[in-house]
Amino acid sequence: MGAPSNSPSSNQTGAPPLNPSEARARDFLAQGRWRKARDEFKVLCKIDRAKYLPLLIQANVGLTREMLAKGLVSEAQPVLAYLKTIAAPAELQSLELEFALKSGDGGRQIACFIPLLTAPNAQLSDDEKRRLADQLVVAFQPIDAALPDAARLAVEVGAVQQALQAVAAEQYESALTGLRPLPQSSLVSHWRLFVKGLVAFHQGDRDKAARCFHALPANSVPGRARLSYLVWLGEPLVSGKTTALRDEAGATFCRLVGAPGADRLIREAEGHWRAARPFEMYRLLRKNLGGFPSEGLDWMGTLTRFCFHCLFVLPFEEAGDYAAALGELADAGKTKSETELKLILRALCLFYVRDGSPEILNSEWQRFIGLVHHSKKPNPRLAAVAYDWLGSVLAKPPEGPSPWMAAQRRPAFLSEAIEALRKSIELDPENLAAHLHLVEAYRLGHNHSERNRLLDDMTQRFPESKAVLVLAGGRCLDRKAYAKGAGYFARALALDRLDPAVPDALVTAKLLHAQQLFKERRLDKARQLFDGLAELTLDPPGNLVRSRWALQLRRGLLEQLLGDASLAGPWLAEARAASPSIAAFLVFAQTLELLYASGHKSEGSFEKEFVRLCQSPVKGSEAVVLLRLHEYWQRCEQPAAEQQCERMIDRFLRAAAKSVFQRDDCRQVAELIRPHSHFSAGLAVWIKRGLKQDARDPLLRFYQWQHQRDAFTTPGATGYRLQPLLDEAVRRQDDHAGKLIRKELEAIKAHPPRPLPPPFEDEFEDVFSEDPGMEGDEVLDNLPPMGPEGDGLAQGIIELLRNASEAEIKKLRRTRPKGMPEMVFDAILNAVRQPLPLPTPSKPPNQPKPPPWADPNQLDLF
């Protein structure tokens, strides 16, 4: 009974005019306000039953359908019962069927409709027929075969039911065989697909199962039942906004996987998670699941892991709030179980490891270890790993306003770190990582005797560890035990012949030993040592430790200065011939001579020759080799050699700028010179000259920008300066320049520099240039405002200088922040020291020099 073709309120032409009551009733009917329409027509029927009864039936049918659509099945029942008293049965067949389908009370009621399914002239659509047939199946009751035309349907429905039962009993073959005779034209043929899908699913044929399930009509009963199986198969059924475990599919899914009833809870937890309320999610699960939190491998354990590990994937602020809420729970002693406390402590310690207080970390992690010890059977190795981690974290130098500051600071909790690391070693003497961390902690604490003792012990305990042997060897070189150090390096080399740092270290140790022997006038032994280096010698000239020319030069110089000068000539001549350039030979020779001739006056013959060389035209490309030499001396931490090298390279750069040089030379040199370094001025001359030839060269302009910018350039200003250079590089198809500029722009976007408008360095210099005679306090008073970060940096420098010994001051001056003029450093030093008496040096003058051996990759000769 569909909607009337004409509007019920329309009055046909020539019909008598409607009375107001009828017009109102027809309007209600037209608007779909069935209840109002029904009430009006009920009254009108009493006046003219023949005229208004069809309209009353129509209103009641509309009302019933509306109720069924809303799921109000029980409310629809009396309306349908009333309809049966006023309408012909044929008119109500479709409505009664719909009611039966909605009520889900298949069985007896549905059986009444069997004739509708079998009659060739039935008025039902295919969809309605299928729904009706589904109801017959899920009624799980036998169909009376005596009904007209019901015999065949009864057999087919029975076969489906038996197949489903066979699946439940894991009799898959029988399930499939039972459905084989089912014809394609059958009203329940789609159930065969469902059963096939179920069998494939439980037999592990995921593809076939997915195929069968996907082929099912969506609005059929099996079409809805398949959803939980498709969730398991990982089919993308749900969009990002909806949940997979919804409705019956969720309930079935949970029942299927042995977690009946979990769907509601997980759905709710999912809601909290999506609404960015992680602690609410945790609280919900904690309240409703008895065994939560759990460390087990069941689904509750997985949810527990999710709740604690999500801390590490949440946005920082959200994670911080969540961690704070968990912390409050633990602090208030309201944890549900020891397991919960343990899990909270672990998660919080790992979460706060970067930003939290080391003191709290120390206590909370130890509390966690205690709980682990209590809940599990004692496991010393586990505890050793835990203490090792604690020690290594506590021994990390605190982060300062700048990396330079951080490197100067002693960890505040070094003694606690050492204690934790010792405990770790005590619990598990085979824990190599703890040993290595303890060595580092001793180094940071300048506890050299303990460090040496530990390293000696480690070489016995871990004779097969390259890292230990290299560390021990390096430490031996620090104590001038060169032969012993060489022995360790030789053992390390035997363990790993592919690591180039180890032979470099071995040659370094032997060279130092040879130098010592020359000084002791044990010349034959020293020469034997040099002869023994043959197998470790390299032909390429780039390696300044092991290349043939470098070794020949060292030997020649040692002979000349400390041995037999008559033997030096051939060695020096061979070295000169094999060197990458005369300039490189002269600079290296001059710097080495400075070191080897300590205590004697250097003749400076190499420098004189170098000065003469610079007066003639020199090749710009040679500057690259010289800059690598300078890098080498920097790594060796030999300030005298480094300064000598700087003087000579500066001279060379200025000489080369006057000669003809290629743009490629300029590129290579510029990439080796860090902005605001000693050679920036020399490079500026090169760039200026290059730009005279091509004023728009993007690469040279980029280098110019790089070496001139101040430390507080804002990202906006950087983009403003660099974008035209990038455009020019693209126009010229200069890939190298384009790559460099893009990289810089991306770096600035990712890590914008401190957005402080005052140009710190410029103003700093202005202060001094205007009044160089200011006293220290005045200097500090006249410093420009630096903002919170600048204040932190200055405060840190002041604290460091106040407590530093003379030896440390020397080192601090040498390694001061890049861009800080030496006079500024001295002015700060004076200002800091004036009100206080100068601290007496508390350590011997040869005290702590950071070991170049700590990192095997930085091993170099000095």
Partner 1 sequence: MNPYLVLGVSQAADDKTIRQAYLHALKGASPDTNPIRFRELNQAYEKIKDETCRNQYFLFNTDCPGDSPEDAFIKHVRLQGIPKPLAWDSLKEMLRNCAKS
Residue from 113, 213, 273, 279 in contact with partner 1 (CB under 8 A): 273
Tell me the C-alpha distance between 307 and 563, whole Å. Answer: 73
668 binds partner 1 (CB under 8 A): no
Nearest CA among 492, 494, 531 for reference residue 510: 531
Residue from 61, 68, 159, 285 in contact with partner 1 (CB under 8 A): 285
Nearest CA among 674, 629, 537, 672 for reference residue 862: 629
Tell me the C-alpha distance between 742 and 130, whole Å. Answer: 64
Q: Which CB sits closer to partner 1, 140 or 720?
A: 140
Residue from 41, 389, 549, 760 in contact with partner 1 (CB under 8 A): 389
Residue from 114, 143, 303, 544 in contact with partner 1 (CB under 8 A): 303
Q: Which region among 199-207, 443-451, 483-491, 611-619 touches partner 1 (by CB under 8 A)?
A: 199-207
Interactions with partner 1, residue window 120-179 (CB under 8 A): 134-135, 137-138, 140, 164-165, 167-170
362: exposed, middle or buried (Cβ count in 10 Å: 0-12, 13-18, 19+): buried
Angle at 800 between CA 795 and CA 804, to 5 degrees: 155
SS3 658: helix
Residue from 18, 119, 257, 407 in contact with partner 1 (CB under 8 A): 257
Q: Which CB sits closer to partner 1, 262 or 700?
A: 262
Those residues with Cβ within 8 angstroms of residue 96's Cβ, 6 or more apart along the chain or in another chain: 80, 112, 113
Position 861: which residue type?
A: L
Interactions with partner 1, residue window 328-367 (CB under 8 A): 346-347, 350
Q: Which region among 255-263, 475-483, 492-500, 793-801 touches partner 1 (by CB under 8 A)?
A: 255-263
Host H or E run for residue 545: none
- HSE-up of 192 (CA within 13 Å, CB side)? 16
Q: Which region among 201-209, 355-363, 642-650, 746-754 touches partner 1 (by CB under 8 A)?
A: 201-209
The tokens of 536 are what?
């470790």
CB 306 to partner 1: min, Å: 4
Residue from 20, 120, 183, 258 in contact with partner 1 (CB under 8 A): 258
The tokens of 588 are what?
């290296």
CB 377 to partner 1: min, Å: 10
Q: Which region among 252-260, 657-665, 748-756, 768-776 touches partner 1 (by CB under 8 A)?
A: 252-260
Q: Which CB sits closer to partner 1, 372 or 672?
A: 372
514 binds partner 1 (CB under 8 A): no
429 binds partner 1 (CB under 8 A): no
563 binds partner 1 (CB under 8 A): no
231 binds partner 1 (CB under 8 A): yes
274 binds partner 1 (CB under 8 A): yes
Q: Which CB sits closer to partner 1, 385 or 454?
A: 385
CB 334 to partner 1: min, Å: 22
Q: Which CB sits closer to partner 1, 365 or 413?
A: 365
Tell me the C-alpha distance between 199 and 171, whole Å. Answer: 9
Residue from 144, 248, 603, 746 in contact with partner 1 (CB under 8 A): 248
Torsion-angle region of residue 258: left (phi > 0), alpha (psi -120 to 50) or beta?
Answer: left
**Count of residues engaged in binding partner 1, rule: CB under 8 A:** 71
CB 750 to partner 1: min, Å: 24
> What phi, psi does 652 have (nearest 5°)?
-65, -45
CB 585 to partner 1: min, Å: 51
Q: Which CB sits closer to partner 1, 432 or 536?
A: 432
82 binds partner 1 (CB under 8 A): no
370 binds partner 1 (CB under 8 A): no
CB 145 to partner 1: min, Å: 22
Within 10 Å of residue 687's Cβ, how many Cβ atoms?
A: 24
113 binds partner 1 (CB under 8 A): no
Interactions with partner 1, residue window 177-196 (CB under 8 A): none
Tell me the C-alpha distance between 682 and 457, whole Å. Answer: 50
CB 587 within 8 A of CB 648: yes
DSSP 787: H
Residue from 8, 106, 503, 698 in contact with partner 1 (CB under 8 A): 106
Long-range contacts of 281-287 (CB under 8 A, 24+ apart): 281/307, 282/307, 282/322, 282/326, 286/336, 286/340
CB 508 within 8 A of CB 861: yes
Interactions with partner 1, residue window 431-470 (CB under 8 A): none
Q: Which residues pair with 547 in a beta bridge?
A: 538
Q: Which CB sits closer to partner 1, 245 or 645?
A: 245
Q: Which residues pair with 538 in a beta bridge?
A: 547
Tell me the C-alpha distance between 57 and 71, whole Å. Answer: 21
Tell me the C-alpha distance between 667 and 735, whole Å. Answer: 13
CB 557 to partner 1: min, Å: 49
Distance of CA 95 to the CA centre of its chain: 61
CB 472 to partner 1: min, Å: 23
Q: How far is CA 726 from CA 469, 629, 717, 719, in A?
A: 49, 33, 14, 10
Q: What is the 3-state secondary structure (H, E, C) of 285-339?
A: HHHHCCCCCCCCCCHHHHHHHHHHHHHHCCCHHHHHHHHHHHHHHHHCCCCCCHH
112 binds partner 1 (CB under 8 A): no
Q: Which CB sits closer to partner 1, 468 or 587?
A: 468
CB 730 to partner 1: min, Å: 40
CB 501 to partner 1: min, Å: 26
Residue from 35, 305, 813, 816 in contact with partner 1 (CB under 8 A): 305
Q: Which CB sits closer to partner 1, 64 or 560?
A: 64
237 binds partner 1 (CB under 8 A): no
SS3 538: strand
Q: Which region among 225-233, 537-545, 589-597, 813-821 touches partner 1 (by CB under 8 A)?
A: 225-233
Q: How far is CA 592 from CA 327, 463, 629, in A?
A: 60, 35, 11
Residue from 374, 381, 453, 600 in contact with partner 1 (CB under 8 A): 381
266 binds partner 1 (CB under 8 A): yes
CB 333 to partner 1: min, Å: 24
CB 56 to partner 1: min, Å: 30
Residue from 70, 152, 309, 814 in contact with partner 1 (CB under 8 A): 309
CB 305 within 8 A of CB 324: no
CB 194 to partner 1: min, Å: 9
Q: Which CB sits closer to partner 1, 298 or 791?
A: 298
Q: Which CB sits closer to partner 1, 200 or 572?
A: 200
CB 816 within 8 A of CB 800: no
Position 826: which residue type?
A: D
Tell me the C-alpha distance between 423 and 434, whole Å. Answer: 9
- HSE-up of 135 (CA within 13 Å, CB side)? 25
Residue from 109, 118, 141, 379 in contact with partner 1 (CB under 8 A): 379
Within 10 Å of residue 3's Cβ, how many Cβ atoms?
A: 13
Residue from 59, 269, 725, 828 in contact with partner 1 (CB under 8 A): 269
Q: Which CB sits closer to partner 1, 138 or 645?
A: 138
255 binds partner 1 (CB under 8 A): yes
